[in-house]
Structure 1
Amino acid sequence: MTKIVLFLNVIFSILWPEGWAEVVLGTETDEFDFDGLPGAQHEFKIEVGAGKEECFYQKIVAGGKLHISFEVLRGGDGNAALFLLKEEGTEFDILQKTDHIARGGFQYGPFEQTGPYAICLDNTMSRMASKLVYVFLVTYVEEEWSKYRQEIEEVELTVSNFTVSIQNVHESVKDALVHQAQSRMHVIKDWYLITGNNSYIQTWSICQCVVVIMCSGIQVFFVRRLFRGTNVTPTAKPRA
């Protein structure tokens, strides 16, 4: 992944040499900063030929520190040496070095001057075999790194507070949905209860109306029979 990002940054720097910049801690810089950190971080593999040295340059600001480590992956006796050099005119001063070992590294800093520093891998002890070496280096400024960590902690605190707020809102929404579901259930239950009561009352009201009408008709019928009389006797004679 780091190699892909490195390749893309190189392509963009070629296509837009003046417009490609990155903002670190609020300051725009043209230096490569592949991880958005206050400094630089690189890891790569390099082939060192038999009996040769391979060097590369890293720009380091004044007050910065360097951490570098390496490991010989294959080739020969599996040992190599690492040098940190500073160019002084036509000569180089050795600032730090390691013995010929399979893996190792060192830390150096803070640097007194801003500028490019040479980092060399030495394989001159091996006359017949080349070596593949893995290199990892980090440059950083202690003050900027502390500020960066503080900003990250503040961002994490803000995100944590925001997450807690979102969780509270989510819980409130969930409680509201539960309350709405219970309200709907109560409404449905009340509707069925009211509908059933209405049907029950209507049925019994109709039945009672029918009974009342029938009773009234029967009463009228029998009362009329009590007061019913004839004008002749059973022998067809007029009544006196």
Structure 2
Amino acid sequence: MFPTYVVLCSACLWNLFLQVTQERVIEESTDDFSFDGLPGAQHEFKIEVPASQEECFVQRVAQNANLHASFEVLRGGDRIVDFYVKDGYNNMIKEITYKSEGSIEYTAPINGNFQICVQNIHSRFLSKLVYIYIVTVVEEEWSKYVAEIEGLHTAVQNFTTSITEVQKSIDKVRLHQATSRMNVIKDWYLLTGNNAYVMYWSVFQIVSILATSCFQVYFVRKLFNIPNVTPSSKPRA
């Protein structure tokens, strides 16, 4: 069984059986300074992985860019999958096996296309709904801004340090928000599942009570149903 590959890009998103919740692409930084101007990309989506199959995505990562990929299985059987990242030469970089959630951090030494794959090989009959969050950021691009300021002979060392710390804090907040959204989605599926279970079980109990009551009424009526004649067809005294 060959895996399915999907290319993640800033201009297009895949629609093949992907239920995309949100995509945000961080554009290239311009001449105007922006706190949100780091080059890179951010993707978050849900995907249904069929039983005994895997789904792969190809993400372009720049040299020295930080790649963060995390996942969480929202529903489907035991909620166990395998998650791994490979480089453009099909070499395994990092792998998470037999887990329901996890994350991978990697700094790309060169430009390349990285494969991010989810395997549902531990289940032969049940598909898994998996939430995936991918972000790539080139923090070294901040040095270009620093060089421009230094070219103006401006003492900006403390300012640069503060901006770097702010950007790191923003990245941490984004990761925390993604984790919170995953928990909310997981709780929603758990709530709807429990509601369906209670409803079906209640209907089953109501049907059982009605069937038992009908049987009891029928049995009691048959018990007191005495014929007016004897077995020899004579009137009963």
| TM, length-normalised to structure 1 | 0.47
Greater CA radius of gyration, 1 or 2?
A: 1
| TM, length-normalised to structure 2 | 0.47
- The structure with the greater share of residues assigned to helix is 1
